[in-house]
Structure 1
Amino acid sequence: MTVTSELRPDGIRVVTMNAPPVNALTVQGWFDVAAALDEASADMATKVVVLRAEGKGFNAGVDIKEMQNTTGFEALLGANRGCFAAFKAVYECSVPVVAAVNGFCVGGGVGLVGNADIVVASEDAYFGVPEVNQGALGAATHMARLVPQHMMRTLYFTARTIPAKDLVQFGSVLEVVPREDLLDAALKVAGEIAAKNTKVIRAAKEALNGIDPIDVNKSYRWEQGFTFELNLMGVSDELRDDFAGTTKAGGAQ
């Protein structure tokens, strides 16, 4: 199963992504993440969510191979809609979302984490938006919530990555811990939130979203429009074919 959700007795709901080998989610996987967060919102017994992953890394973005092995634009449209739904569900979750990031967090992973409320990371965690390498645009909206504007542009245009420890100075990552301590660190801060009055916390989440200077849903949708243009020009398909060939040969994602 790609996504599981477990509500603990203390009101902490742990949502886990597990899509071997690298947590590159299929179209259905993105919608499954959205469904898990929507379930958390609707369940008054849920006081806070911890979003985490099993395996090598937190998230490697969309499943490029699924996209390239699907005729027409069905997988492309599905991935765009699925990512939009998942990112939106994290942001609009009625309770705070704590992202526990291990290993790589790239592309769509940044979309999830950038829309989370609190981020803790393992010592080996790093973030990146390599969209330009695959002829797509997206997640700049969310990377801009993790790093300052000029750093975001540098990471975006170069497809470089940035280690989690460097994000602590910006305040976007709360703390960096050994990987074996990551879940405990996430549960610790989640436990502090769960101890508060749930009605107050839910009201606080809505209030904080209401004073955000940028509408993340509209901003991300704007980015997606350029992805569609690049696909119509044929640029994206060529780059994705090159990427899929590279990953097949070298095993990297």
Structure 2
Amino acid sequence: MIHEKVDGNGVAELVVDNPPVNAYNVADIGTLVGHLRAYAGDDRVRAVVLRGEGRGFCGGGDVKEVQRAPGFEGILGQTRGSLDLSLAVAECPVPVIGAVHGYCIGLGVLVAGVCDILLAAPDTPFVLAEADNGATSGIVQAIGLMPEKRLRAAMFTCEPVDSAELHRFGSVLRLVPAAELPAAALAVAATIAAKRTNVIRGLKAAMAGTLGRDIRTAYRQELSYTFELNISGEARDARGDFVDGRRTGYLGTS
């Protein structure tokens, strides 16, 4: 479930509350995309906070939903949704502040990688688990978090990158205890929202032109290899290992 609230400062708060691990299913993704796209025509909204309720920010895409779907419907829905959500965050006309706690896995890292600003709780692992799930995508989004060589290591090994390391890179603005994280993110958003709306919207558009990545083109290229692995059956087998409990250590279990 996605909760949305717009406060009196012009800050929209989007909260993902999908127990037990905040894995994003296709419906969740569509709801988030709808809200983020709608802000283009909503002058009330001057900044956005995106966070998760419960144990962590995001446990990745809903692999179980992908496995249950017939044929290739699941992987197509999840990959199309991942692209749509990445673009919706990157193209949102106002800054999006991600507040990350607990863990940030797979699709969560992609979303974090395209947020304008990140705050994170100490000791939060960011895990690019694509290789363990038969996927080859997320590179263009994750390059917003770490240098190339570190990204290569993170993707090849699926080993976590700690929030403190991302803070040293400058990708995480501030490390904040988990209990204080929502308020801290809202405070950053309120600082931005207090500025002239048209200036901030113009500045984000200018940054997209100068600093932006061609997410659509690069992500589609990355997905071509994911689709090959799905056609061959290897990706489904890899996801099966995850669903059957052979790869769950990202969430602190064996």
TM over 0.5: yes
Distance, in Å, in 1 between the alignment partners of 2:209 and 2:142 is 20
What letter matches 2:91 in structure 1?
E
| Structure-1-length-normalised TM-score | 0.95
> Aligned Cα RMSD in Å?
1.7
Q: Could you say what secondary structure the match of 2:245 adopts? A: helix
Matches within 5 A, 1:151-230: 151-212=150-211, 214-230=213-229
Q: How far off its partner does 1:134 sit?
A: 0.9
What letter matches 1:179 in structure 2?
A
Matches within 5 A, 1:58-77: 58-77=57-76
8 Å CA contact retained: 1:31, 1:83: no
8 Å CA contact retained: 1:91, 1:116: yes
Q: How far off its partner does 1:124 sit?
A: 3.5
Q: How far off its partner does 1:213 sit?
A: 5.5
Name the structure 1 match of 2:126.
127
Name the structure 2 match of 1:21.
20
Distance, in Å, in 1 between the alignment partners of 2:95 and 2:108 is 18
* CA separation of 1:249 and 1:158: change in aligned 2, threshold 3 A: closer
Distance, in Å, in 1 between the alignment partners of 2:247 and 2:95 is 38
Q: How far off its partner does 1:206 sit?
A: 0.5
Segments of 4+ moved more than 3 angstroms: 247-253
Distance, in Å, in 1 between the alignment partners of 2:25 and 2:234 is 22
Q: Could you say what secondary structure the match of 1:211 adopts? A: helix
Unaligned regions of 5+ residues in structure 2, if any?
none
Name the structure 2 match of 1:150.
149
What letter matches 2:5 in structure 1?
E
Name the structure 1 match of 2:115.
116
Unaligned regions of 5+ residues in structure 1, if any?
none
* CA separation of 1:169 and 1:124: change in aligned 2, threshold 3 A: closer
Distance, in Å, in 2 between the alignment partners of 1:89 and 1:213 is 13
8 Å CA contact retained: 2:242, 2:248: no
| Structure-2-length-normalised TM-score | 0.95
8 Å CA contact retained: 1:124, 1:179: no
Distance, in Å, in 1 between the alignment partners of 2:150 and 2:123 is 20
* Pairs aligned (count): 252
Distance, in Å, in 2 between the alignment partners of 1:182 and 1:83 is 25
